[in-house]
Every structure is written in structure tokens, then in C-alpha cells.
Chains A and B, each alone.
Chain A
């Protein structure tokens, strides 16, 4: 069964730093991978979706990469801002399945 792990569980950085969040998954037979952001007490907002045939996706200061064979994805955030503080979740859609398998999340705090 697919298992998705995110490291670290929590991360604090000073404003302006570049940072990387990691996601790993046990079954490489995935259809796509998504990165979400969850603010406290709120729902999830989709940030980036990478299809299994793609290596990376970019949106503004965010860049997500995918290495399907090694079961890894990273989310790179450039020039972090206090407004980036949130929990970041990665989720994979496994080939043949219809639902997302979520990681455990990384809680990011950007200190002004």
C-alpha cells in the first residue's frame, strides 16, 4: 500500500531564506503528485500538480520536482515570506486508484 512521508515535520526559517521541503513515497507507480498548502483552521489549497511524465513544475516562487523512480519530490520555496507560514502537504495519485494518498505534512514557520 502506498505510504507518503514528509520530512521534516516542522521547519522554521528566517524571512528571505530559500528552503526545500521533502516528500517520499513507497510505490513509484503514480499517476501524478500534488503539493497543497493548509493554513490553520482552513481547507487545502492546491499549489502545484506534477504529472508522472514531468520532472518539475513552477509557479512564482515555488518549484516542485519529481523523481518517480526514486520515489521523491521536493518543493522549493525561494525568498520565503512570513505569509508562506502554513502546513505543506504532498499527495500522490497512484496508478489505477482514484484517490489521493497524503503525506504527514511539514509545518513551515517563516520568522520576520
Chain B
């Protein structure tokens, strides 16, 4: 199936741990994104990469570090997890940088205890 996939789907972990979320798209898109959806269901951009280069880096703690090994993958590593990091993290991709439909992954539900 052609799609945007994320692993894991659920992640429960203790405060202070380091965790990674992986995202892959097989749509041949050039641009990938990470969004965070908080407990009030509000979606906000975190990062965006175009052809492995960072183009958006919103104000997020530097404990969050995206990595794009190739244009089909954009992983999110989180250090020293905090309670407030609990949220749903969505990966998305689009054919180009601007103006085109973004395709979203199913989300990773992170719960920090």
C-alpha cells in the first residue's frame, strides 16, 4: 500500500527516557513534516524537511531532534521525556514544499508517565 506509515502506533514510557518515532512515506514525496496534536486536539507544526534538508523548525524544545536519512524517512528523537510531551505525533508528506495536499500518517500516541 502506498501511504505514510509511523512506528510505533502507541508509546508509553517513563519521564526522563529517550525515545524515537519513525516515519516512512512511499509516495515519492519531497517534503515531510512532524505535527503535534495536544490534549485539546490542536495540531501544530514542529518540523519540516525537503529533500533531507530542514526547512521549518518551529519553537520546540531542543530535546526534540528530527533526522532525515533520506527523503522517504523522517524520524523524531525525543530526549529526557517530560509529562507535557504526552500527545499524538503525526507525520505527513507532500509532493513539494508548498501549495500541495499533505498526506498524514496514522499518528503515534505518546504517553509519558
Contacts and interface: CB of A to CB of B under 8 A. Distances in A.
Contacts, number: 56
B64 to A, nearest CB: 15
Given A98-B55, A104-B41, A31 B106 contact: no
A18 interface: no
Contacts of B100: 49
A98 B97 contact: yes
Interface of B: 4, 31, 33, 35, 40-45, 48, 50, 55-56, 58, 90, 92, 97-107
Contact of B104 (A31, A43, A101, A104): A43
Nearest to A105: B41
A59 interface: no
A46 B98 contact: no
Nearest to A51: B99
Interface in A82-104: 87, 89, 91, 93, 98-102, 104
B48 A99 contact: yes
B41 A31 contact: no
A31 B98 contact: yes
A102 B56 contact: no
Nearest to A96: B98
A24 B25 CA distance: 31
